[in-house]
Amino acid sequence: MNLPFAAAEVADRLLAWYGLEGRDLPWRHTRDPYRIWLSEIMLQQTTVAAVIPYYERFLERFQTVASLAAASLDEVIALWAGLGYYSRARNLHQAARQVVEGQGGLFPDTLDALTALPGVGRSTAGAILSIAFDKPAPILDGNVRRVLVRLFAWLDDPRGSRAEKQLWAWAEALTSVDRPHDYAQAVMDLGATICTPREPACGRCPLQGLCLAHGQGLAKALPVSRKQQKVPVRKQVALVISAAEGLLLRQRPAEGFLGGLWEFPAADLPDGLAAAQAAGRLRDDLGLHGILEEHSEVRHAYSHFKLELAVFRVAVADVGRVAEGGTYRWCSGDELERLPLHGAHRKVCSKLAGGG
């Protein structure tokens, strides 16, 4: 491949900079592929600062891939609660079981075997191969993608099919053969701390003299922005149902959006229907009787929509056909604190705790 500079010079500059400026992160004190894999899954679409406490709590509870595989999905979800993108937790649990059952508890060290694990794509596999096994393998997470877009002054959509093919080719060409472990972490650190989305610190960048975007005065303009789509708004009602048995919660299906998390009974609010009417229908569908009281409104943004939640309270004397077990559960206040609720319904709990 013809490059505008020598690939070895990129690696040399990055590695020298990393030796002086590399971040001290918990998962950088190990070559254990289990711990490297765990950190990479948690870091998908999440900041380092948010991940560190979750990473440490996970390792306190699940010190090995075997202990993670032996846990229930509910235990894993409970520890994950608040980190978001819950399919990652389900994939984490499923992949741990595959490693234990199919690999005898030993992490695979080939690209094909790693990408066969749930939740492990090419970039995550490349990070594991490079960092844990010191094997040359390209990575292309969000930080590295931005570095390459600027380094080569890529003027097209950074997520288009042309970009995908070209950026992977550049990532592979630049990956250090001699020190892949350090190179992978160096290029990720450069994107996270220097070549940031806004206001890149070009004056402190070890690649400044090679960077085509900097040379052309385009560093702040790249990557080009993708057209923003309007985020849809979903309206729902939720019931805080209280009885002698406690508050009624239900668990979402294990598969799908927010799978395995708990919530107050909720339903979509159809256009043209008053929130109180929808809440009454939901109460009736549960086989319960009681007077509805407006409680609060909650707004919460998820990855692909915004939720507006109208919350009603209702006290019931007869729990009707809602029985303990299945997807429903009566919870005391202490139990409610321990259950993994998703974001919007955790906000409902906060409002309840505030005296509402």
**Active site amino acids:** 40
Q: Say if residues 153 and 212 touch (Cβ distance below 8 Å).
A: yes
The answer to whether the CB of 130 falls within 8 A of the CB of 136 is yes
Look-up of token digits 């806004």: 198
Residue 344 token pair: 């919007």
Q: What's the rounded Cα separation, in Å, for the pair 244 and 222? A: 59
**Strand, helix or coil for residue 294:** strand
Q: In Å, what is the CA distance from 98 to each residue of 66, 103, 119, 140?
A: 10, 7, 12, 25
Instruction: Give pairs for 85-89: CB < 8 Å, separation 24+.
Output: 85/44, 85/45, 85/46, 85/303, 86/258, 86/259, 86/260, 86/261, 86/342, 87/119, 87/259, 88/41, 88/42, 88/44, 88/119, 89/260
- Distance, in Å, from the CA atom of 117 to the CA atom of 91, rounded to the nearest integer, reads 8
Q: Nearest to residue 147, comparing CAs of 216, 193, 203, 215?
A: 193
The two tokens of residue 177 are 């053969």
HSE of 61 in the Cβ direction (CA atoms, 13 Å)?
17
Dump the DSSP string for 329-340. Answer: EEE-HHHHHHS-
Instruction: Read off the DSSP letter of residue 62.
Output: -
Q: List the beta bridge partners of residue 268.
A: 236
